[in-house]
Chain A
């Protein structure tokens, strides 16, 4: 069995709130990625998925506290907080942010922003760096000459492509993408997603894609992890999640996505996610779940293996009370 490229174990993130309170944004999240994987991290806004991938790169504010392990190629980079995470940024793990509109500095040329990390990590410099920046732009479908242009001269789709080119500058092994297509219109979305698939195949990249948009995940990823209220509700191959969901949230999530042909009713999930600034007893989803019972109130369900590679955190899978990690 190949060694996992990224192994996140029991990750917790808390944010300080005024008056001594705390927001427990990520509550014991674990997942792993093998080289070449494309894993989707799915959930409603506020479920903690963005915080999770920011935590993987250590891009958290001073108001945050972290617990757990982030093991990259067998090494826990979270061991020394910022000090141990920083050397891996962009060189091993790179990120494409949502809304690349603002992720690029408006007063600097696009090319200079691609060259910047190359020089920083001593991958290339001077004319060689510029040439390489041009090549990266071509790779994502932008003419190399536009490196001399400024971000505001690019369309939204082109800016996102440029952001992807920038992310590849230091040949990272892992690419984190946070809602890369959310702010784009549908046609452009499809192009960007195709680009991401092509790049990960051609360059042997591993990708962790965060989104609330199920069709996006379905198109790009083979596996997905569904997050709810800071925890992983279910994880497994995309097909299985669609055809055999073992968590009511997953089922409802897929049902809530309108079919292109308008067949079937769009079912919305009543209620809203719980606040994460105080402890939740039992299952976080029970208030909105159509199948909740007494055990859901008292006991938080553990993420249990349902089948090979398919895990769900729901008491319905464990009616005999055996439990198994």
Chain B
């Protein structure tokens, strides 16, 4: 099969990165000095039975390497410990939070990609003109504005017009399925819009520069020599080729998506993983922080891997 080598290499890389992240997680939270941190069983207001159970599960009285192995074992079972704040298992909480984060992030990122590609192509097409300068500098500006500030700006601008807090209107009781979905969607507009605005700038710049690169390639001249119109060439040749480095660079911006999510969910009190991070920082809820960090990191590794697969699909030259 074509590129079996490449696929194997990238899968291996993803797995090792997961391993590094997991180990990092362990080292940061357990191997560092400080009793409050390393002792997962110090859940405030916990029953002695719970404390004992945690001690046993995570081997908190055993040597570090044994703890590490136990940590891995519990991880594979989905046990991330118990939240200091709620006395509930970390994973079950994070799971529902993740279900809230994903639609909002997906919407925001999709919009950012669409706007980014559109403006990037436009800027490259009209390189050097006023359109290009305006488009490029606007992209740089939105890229430069702090995400949380953009969120606050949108809040100020649309206060009263669009909901600004949380995911649901607490006063809608007993509403039908579609009504509550619509309500969630309305609440999703501002956070997703903030994410889109903060992300799109980088995409614009990347698409623009890879389009410019592509437009100078010889096969574009060949296409022109064949009698194709410029815009057709952009659509069928240049854009297709410019998508290759664009995919890679979008993958590299995943870290930015995560950072943005944390900040946005804090501003809008969106009940997702990002907000969990914020709350666990405020409350010094270490198991929750640890769990959220792991979830976020693993998501990024996963989507990076997806991007690798996508690149493989797009570029026939990759075989090893």
A interface residues with partner B (beta carbon < 8 Å): 57, 59, 86-91, 94-95, 97, 99, 102-108, 116-117, 120-121, 150, 152
Q: Is B317 an interface residue (CB 8 A)?
A: yes
A150-B317, A152-B316 given; A103·B218 CB < 8 A: yes
Q: Once bound together, how far apart are the Cα atoms of A104 and B219, in whole Å?
A: 5
Q: Is B227 an interface residue (CB 8 A)?
A: yes
Q: Which residues in window 215-251 of B have CB below 8 A to A?
A: 217-219, 221-229, 237, 240-241, 244
Q: Which of B69-87 contact A (CB under 8 A)?
A: none
Let me know if A121 and B222 touch, CB within 8 A: no
A90-B225, A104-B222 given. 16 additional CB < 8 A pairs?
A59-B225, A86-B227, A87-B227, A89-B225, A90-B226, A94-B225, A95-B225, A97-B222, A103-B219, A103-B221, A103-B222, A105-B219, A107-B240, A107-B314, A107-B316, A120-B226
Interface of B is mostly: helix
As a 0/1 sequence over residues 272 to 285 of chain B, the CB contacts with chain A under 8 angstroms (1 = contact) are 00000000000000
B315 at the A/B interface (Cβ < 8 Å)? yes
| Bitwise interface map of B from 128 to 166 toward A, beta carbon under 8 Å scored 1, else 0 | 000000000000000000000000000000000000000
Q: How large is the interface on B (under 10, 10 to 19, 20 to 34, 35 or more residues)?
A: 20 to 34
Q: Is the CB of B225 within 8 A of A121?
A: no
Cβ–Cβ < 8 Å partners of B227 in chain A: 86-91, 117, 120-121
Which residues of B are found within 8 Å of A117, using beta-carbon distances? 226-227
Given contacts A150-B316, A152-B316, contact A102 B217 (CB under 8 A): yes
Which residues of the other chain, B, contact A97 by a CB distance below 8 angstroms? 218, 221-222, 225
C-alpha gap A94/B226 in the complex (Å): 7
Residues of B within 8 A of A99 (CB): 218
Taken together as a complex, chains A and B put the C-alpha atoms of A89 and B229 apart, in Å, by 11
| Neighbouring A residues of B219 by C-beta, 8 Å | 102-106
| Interchain CA distance A90-B227 in the complex, whole Å | 7
* Contact status A107-B218, CB under 8 Å: no
- Identify A107's interface contact among B224, B228, B241, CB under 8 A: B241
The distance from the CB of A203 to the nearest CB of chain B, in whole angstroms, is 19
In angstroms, Cα B219 to Cα A95, docked, is 12
Give bound CA distance, A48 to B229, whole Å. Answer: 26
Distance in angstroms between the alpha carbons of A90 and B241 in the assembled complex: 23
Q: Which residues of A contact B241 (CB under 8 A)?
A: 105-107
Q: Tell me how far the C-beta of B133 lies from the nearest C-beta in chain A, rounded to whole angstroms.
A: 18
Find the B residue at minimum CB distance from A109: B316
29 contacts between A and B (CB under 8 A): A57-B225, A59-B225, A89-B224, A89-B226, A89-B227, A90-B225, A90-B226, A90-B227, A97-B218, A97-B221, A97-B222, A99-B218, A102-B219, A103-B218, A103-B219, A103-B222, A104-B219, A105-B219, A105-B222, A105-B223, A105-B237, A105-B241, A106-B241, A107-B244, A107-B314, A107-B315, A116-B228, A120-B227, A120-B228
